[in-house]
Every structure is written in structure tokens, then in C-alpha cells.
Amino acid sequence: MRIRPVAGVALVIAGGLAAAAAHGPSAQADVSTGEVQANVAVSSAITLTLHTASFTLAGPPNTTVAQPGAVTYTVISNNATGYEVLVRSTSDVLTPVTAGNPDTIPIGNLEVRAISIYRPLSTTDTVIANTDTPSGPTGDDYSNDYRVHIPNVRADTYHTTLVYTAVTNP
């Protein structure tokens, strides 16, 4: 193999390998490094998704009518100590839809199955679900049964609004 000299470059052959070294000062970049710690602060959170917009219990006066699974919902929470789900009525009576009908049904006649037993509703919160652990990754699914004791009232549709609330445990 024939080697030609190149101006400003010294060629060194050692052990059958050729290497070139440039004459003159070598160029190096100045470098300074530092570190930053990245933190992600995750707060406790809870989400309640109601899957039921309304339900109707229908029957004649002086009977008790029930509907299994009347209300369904999902709770998602990462709270380490779990959560509770509460329900309450916005009114102490179910009022008639028909104008001029003076009859009402006491809210206590409407009952929710809360943790295995029926409990009368009121305008204060009733606990209907309770857990001491976070929900599953896609949430915990629930279903509440409702029943009503229909008193001797006029034929009509009687209604109230139920407020569901999910709250993390302290």
C-alpha cells in the first residue's frame, strides 16, 4: 500500500493501522452541567358518574312498589382511605305534576336499599356506599334498589330530585 503525505497531518502507522493526527491546537467545547429534580404531585380525587337520569315507581294506592337497580352509577377515586356515596332529597315531599292537586307523598315513603337494607330518604344525607380503599382503575360500579309505600293519594305522578354525592374519606 502506498501512502501520500498530506500537508499539516502526521501519519502514524502502528500494528498495521494508520491514524492521522492534525498539527496545531485541538478544538474542544466548553461544558457545564446541572441537575433538576422533576416532581409530580398527585392530589386525592373523586368522580361520580350517574348512569340513570330518572326512574318511575308505579302502582295503586296503599301498596309498596319496588324497582331493583333503579339507579346505577360509577365512582372513581384514588383516595387511599376510600370514599362514601350519599343520597338525599331536595324536598321533604314528592309533589304532584298536575296543577291543583293538593296531595303529596312524604319523602320518607321513598326508600333506598343502602348497604343491604332499605332506608327511608330525607333531606339529609343517607350513606348508600362506603369503602376504605381506592376504587379500581376503571371505577367501582354500583346499583341502588328503590321502593315506595304509596299512600291513598290522587292518581298523578309525584316527583322529587335526588342528589347523589361522592366524598373521599379523611
DSSP 10-66: EEEEETTEEEEEESSPPP------------------EEEEE--S-------TTEEEE
Residue-level pLDDT at 26: 74
Taking 60 as the threshold, does the pLDDT of residue 20 lie above it?
no
Taking 80 as the threshold, does the pLDDT of residue 12 lie above it?
no
Alpha carbon 119 to its chain's center: 26
DSSP 92-124: SEEEESSTT----EEGGGEEEEETTEEEE--SS
DSSP 9: E
Q: Residue 169 — pLDDT band, cuts 50, 70, 90?
A: very high
pLDDT digits (tens, 9 = 90+) for 76-131: 999 999 999 999 999 999 999 999 999 999 999 999 997 789 999 999 999 999 99
**Residues of the chain above pLDDT 70, percent:** 85
Rounded distance, CA 145 to CA 17, Å? 86
Residue-level pLDDT at 21: 52
In terms of pLDDT, which residue wins out, 139 or 16?
139
- Residue ranges and CATH numbers for the domains of the chain are 46-168 (2.60.40.1090)
Residue-level pLDDT at 5: 54
Contact indicator for 97, 156 with CB cutoff of 8 Å: yes
Torsions phi, psi for 107 (to 5 deg): -60, -30
Q: How many CA atoms lie within 13 A of 8 on its CB side?
A: 4
Residue-level pLDDT at 122: 97
- The C-alpha angle with vertex 68 and arms to 55 and 135, in degrees rounded to 5, equals 95
Who's near 138: CB < 8 A, 6+ residues apart?
A: 76
